[in-house]
Every structure is written in structure tokens, then in C-alpha cells.
Structure 1
Amino acid sequence: MTETDAQAGVDWRTYTVSGLPPILETALACFMEHGYHGTTIRTVAARSQLSVPGLYHHYASKQALLVALVSCAMDDLWARSTAALEEAGDDVQRRLELLVECLVLFHAHRRGLAFIASSEIRSLTGEARTTYIAARDRQQRLMDQVIEEGVARGVFATAYPREVSRAIVTMCTGVSQWYRTEGEHTPPELAARYRDMTLMTVGAPSPARS
């Protein structure tokens, strides 16, 4: 989870403050408004009430701001996801349900951070891009492993576990592109619907239909 959540001892479903340093909060707002390439260091510095040299004291470049945001997003999601799986224990269907719940909650509550981490991969360069892709692939493997295990145990009936895994993750991460707090459903309500849709997709019995 973010450092603030972890220090507070809250569980993976709880979202309090973002845990981002103020400069990163400002950079995130600027990237959301103008895009990475449309944002200047001068803009971030001014909105942070810093001089440009003062901002450079904390972050060496605009790329460094983006890298820090992406790292925060992936670290937070990973910590929450592994905590969700730990809570589920050995029950493979429960592991799938809680992993989907975790993904939806994260992409609803941290929609700005998640959206920038996903959409601005094109702006990452060199080792930063390689590191991000490795973190994204590691996250995807959590879903791959749960679905493959469910198929092997006969709990899930899908004939296409790898493709279904990608589809489910894409569905969940897409929440950051459209979710609004003033919308029809709260994050937990949305997560419940996505859990049910996921179980139908993998061919498992759904609690809503049993």
C-alpha cells in the first residue's frame, strides 16, 4: 500500500490519503490536466510554490517525476494485491474474487494515478520503461496463476485461461478511464459487479446466481 496506509495499519480495501508527497500530487494533477508532454517543469514548480531549482532539488527532471508516480502506483497495487491474495488463502475462487475486487477498488480510488501510470508508459524512457513493464508483467502473472490454478483444479471451466486473464485485467484496469465518484455506483458496488462478471467469464458458479 502507500506508505501512509501501511503506517496506519489499514487493510488493502481502505483508501485514506494518497500517500504521495505534495510535489508528486501537483505533478499528477498537471499530467492529468495537460498530459506529460504538455506539462512543463516550470508549471509544476509554480503550482508547488517552488522555484525551478527548488523543484530540481527534489526531482532531477520531469521524467523523474513521472517515474516516481509510476513506481508509487505499481508498488501500491502490488502490496494491496498480495494482501488480498493472502486474505483469500487456498480457496482459488476466493483468490480470484478478491484479486478482482482489489483491482477495481484501486482503479476507482486511485484513478488519476492509475490512469497516468497506464497511459504515459509511452513517455517512459530507457531503464524506467523496462522496470515499469516488468512490474506490470509481474502484476499480470498474479491473475494468470490464479486462473490457471482454478482451471487445473476444475473450479473454472474456461478453455482459454491466458486470454481470459488478460481480458479480466483489462476490464478492471479500464475503470480508471471512466470512473467518477459522482457516478451510479460506489467502488465496492462496482467491485461486486465485476466479481460476478469475472466468475461468469471463467465458468465458475457465481454467489449472485447460486
Structure 2
Amino acid sequence: MSSGAGETEVRTDSLGEWRDYGESELPVPLAAALAAFTEHGYHGTSVREIAARANLSVPGLYHHYPSKQSLLQGLLERTMTDLLRRSEMAVAEAGDKPVDQFDAVVESLLRFHMYRREQAFVGSTEIRSLDDDYRPTYIAHRDRQQHMVDEIVFAGVEAGDFATRYPKDASRAVTTMCVGVSTWFKLGGELGADELIHRNLQIARDAVGYRS
């Protein structure tokens, strides 16, 4: 992804699997829950509404997921598993150079929060709605993603690629920028996906003090 001249180039000729986004393959009950949670929020959604969206009876829905909380947990577990898998694939594919790993993980985060924006949005806004028994697991998933970015930024500073004096702060700022895309980006809008990635990679490199 690096052009080597301070510019950031988005490769589209040989997209890795982590860049490949088709329709979400959520089970029907989770897809129905996602649509309802996105529209009304967790606490504003009833099990009856989710069942109706899934074309199931309430007992039929409970056969698959025994509670509304289990639907939220199932949805967020799938969301984080997918996000982490894509991020890890992106970093592995990038090779050993921290700057290439950085570009890859930032692009992966951006793509996920563009193409799975509803899942990302619910994941960000409904942490407060998670039961205490699952919340630590979900937070651990989020921490794992953040630590992945942290480690790359620290490695970039050590290698002399990044000049930031505040690597952890810069890393969190970059991740927050990527997550925020889910709140405003719309496919088919004025700003295309590749142009957004191009711009935000430049901003991310600036945040860590990339030395071209």
C-alpha cells in the first residue's frame, strides 16, 4: 500500500480476502435484531418486533436465541470475530515493515466500519446494554484490536518510521477516527470508499508522524 514517496496509494487490483465485503451473512434472527437495534436501540426494541422482522413466532425466535440479550451478545460476538479476523489477515499480508502493517490495519478498520457500519454502530452504542457476564469478554475483544494498532505504532516509532512523541495517544486517535466512520459514511454517497480510505490514511500517517 505504501507508495514510498509520502503519498498513500489504495490497491484495488489484487484485493485480499480481508478487503472482500459481500452481503452480511448473519443468521436471520440476528439480521432482524440488527435492523431493530439500529433503528430503535436495544431498550427500544421488543422481542416481538424482532420475531416479526425475522418472520418467526416469539417461541420460534426463542428456539434459536433464548432472550433479547442473547441476540445482542450473539450479534456483537460475530461482529468482533469478523473485525479481528480481517485485521489480523491484513497485518499478516502486509509483511514485516511497521509502516506497511499500519497502512493495512488502518485500511482494514476503515473498510469494516464502512461496509459493516450498522454492526459497528450497534457495537459502539450498546455496550451499556450488555449483561455483566458478557461485557468483559466484549471489552477484551475491543482491547485486543486496540493493542494490535498500539503494537504497530510502537514498532514504527522504534524503527524510526514514525516520529510521534505520544504513540499510544496517536494510536487511539487513529482507531477512534476509523470507528467514527460508521456514524456518517454512506455507500453511494458523495465520497467514495477508496477516496475516503486515501484521505484517512494520510490523516492517520500524519497522526503518527510518518517520515516519508
TM-score of the alignment, normalized to the shorter chain, above 0.5? yes
Counting only pairs closer than 5 Å after superposition, residues 6-17 of structure 1 correspond to structure 2 as: 11-17=17-23
2:31 maps to 1:25: yes
Report the equivalent of 1:202.
208
2:52 maps to 1:50: no
Report the equivalent of 1:92.
98
1:134 to 134, 140, 155: 140
Counting only pairs closer than 5 Å after superposition, residues 177-188 of structure 1 correspond to structure 2 as: 177-188=183-194
| Kept after mapping to 2: 8 A contact 1:67/1:124 | yes
Q: Aligned partners of 1:157 and 1:205: how far apart in 2?
A: 7
How far apart are residue 128 of structure 1 and its match? Answer: 0.9
Report the equivalent of 2:152.
146
2:186 maps to 1:175: no
Q: Aligned partners of 1:159 and 1:200: how far apart in 2?
A: 13
How far apart are residue 32 of structure 1 and its match? Answer: 0.8
1:58-92 deviation digits (Å, cap 9, x = unpaired):
00100000001101110000000000001111011
Q: Aligned partners of 1:182 and 1:19: how far apart in 2?
A: 21
- Secondary structure, counterpart of 1:12 in structure 2: helix
Counting only pairs closer than 5 Å after superposition, residues 111-122 of structure 1 correspond to structure 2 as: 111-122=117-128
Report the equivalent of 2:66.
60
| Kept after mapping to 1: 8 A contact 2:163/2:211 | no
Letter in 2 for 1:85: V
How far apart are residue 94 of structure 1 and its match? Answer: 0.6
1:86-142 deviation digits (Å, cap 9, x = unpaired):
111101101000110000000000000000011100100112101000000011000
How far apart are residue 188 of structure 1 and its match? Answer: 2.2
* Structure 1 residue runs without a partner (length 5+): 1-9
Letter in 2 for 1:101: E
2:89 to 83, 92, 116: 83
Q: Aligned partners of 2:175 and 2:91: how far apart in 1?
A: 15
How far apart are residue 205 of structure 1 and its match? Answer: 3.6
1:39 to 35, 45, 50: 45
User: Which structure's relative contact order is higher, taking Cα pairs within 8 Å and 6+ residues apart?
Assistant: 2
2:76 to 67, 70, 83: 70
Counting only pairs closer than 5 Å after superposition, residues 157-168 of structure 1 correspond to structure 2 as: 157-168=163-174
| Kept after mapping to 2: 8 A contact 1:104/1:172 | yes
Structure 1 outlier segments of 4+, above 3 Å: none
How far apart are residue 35 of structure 1 and its match? Answer: 0.5
Letter in 1 for 2:198: A
What is the number of equivalent residue pairs in this alignment? 197
- Secondary structure, counterpart of 1:15 in structure 2: coil
Aligned residues: CA RMSD: 1.0
Report the equivalent of 1:101.
107
2:131 to 125, 135, 150: 125
Report the equivalent of 2:3.
none
Letter in 2 for 1:151: V
